[in-house]
Amino acid sequence: MAESIASIRELRARLSPLRRQGKSIGFVPTMGALHAGHRRLLETARRETDVVVASIFVNPLQFDRKEDLDRYPRTLESDLAFCGAAGVDLVFAPPVSEMYPQEMLTSVEVHKLTETLCGPRRPGHFRGVATVVLKLLEIVQPDRAYFGEKDAQQLAVIRRMLEDLSLPVAIVPVETVREPDGLAMSSRNLLLSPAQRRIAPMLYRALLLARERVEGGERSAGKILAAIEPRFAENPEVRLEYFEIVDPRNLARVDVIESPVLIAGALWIGTIRLIDNLGANPGARPGSLTEAKGLRL
């Protein structure tokens, strides 16, 4: 089981001599309920750095709905065992009172990148994400920090924040880990009922079908979206929040597909919100054709 530290002062005291010895520090911020996607992040950090620090902190600032915060899985004991098995050296698991001992009067806002996809649907979410990530990076002061590509908008926001603020941390994106049926690994998957879990891969299949159209030569984003979006309405348990094709550099919506794009979607199954994304390259050979063949939403 990995060693857990709850105090900012203690964590800094443990890391400071290691930093002076020239040890490289890798950092994986999480909210716990760890799964195979987190394992890939942790193992990548383990290969690339001398000291691996993971954080487990359910950040209240990034939840726009209190019921979502209250319901978020909290599995600290099993998470510590998980981190130990993945070779983590230290786990920073502070209580809310340690991270936010008083009312927060300071926050970080990244504009433009948060005006599409999840941003308008989750007011304040990315402000909460950027604020806690900046605070964690200042506490840990890692050389490299690892984030999953499943949260593509979060990754873009954090990258831009670090660029704008000139922070000396390398952001390392790590490929999405999926279940055998394609569902992206997520802590929220634990909240799905067996029936909902069977429905959940439909978002991934929709992304595959959209990518197939891009790689098959369709250049109109509007035509692709018009063909894909109605399929979600066929299942009464599903509510599509968005399905969009954007520029991966600035997350702006794309009308004519002339260069690589990001296809991203979010849907609700009951009260559970799932997100996912895939890249698509109009210049690529249609590699998704076989993968998507026969799949239906």
The catalytic residue positions are 38
**Parallel, antiparallel, or unpaired: how do β-strands 144-148 and 90-92 relate?**
unpaired
139: left (phi over 0), alpha (psi -120 to 50) or beta: alpha
Check if the beta carbon of residue 139 is closer than 8 Å to that of residue 8: yes
Is 114 in a helix, a strand, or coil? coil
Q: How far apart are CA 100 and CA 217, in angstroms?
A: 51
DSSP 100: -
* Residue burial 20-59, b: 16+ Cβ < 10 Å; e: rest: eeeeebbbbbbbbbbbebbbbbbbbbbeebebbbbbbbbb
Q: What is the CA radius of gyration of the chain?
A: 20
DSSP 255: S
Is 95 in a helix, a strand, or coil? coil
* HEC profile of 132-144: HHHHHHHHHCCCE
Q: What are the phi and psi torsion angles at 250 (to 5°)?
A: -125, 0
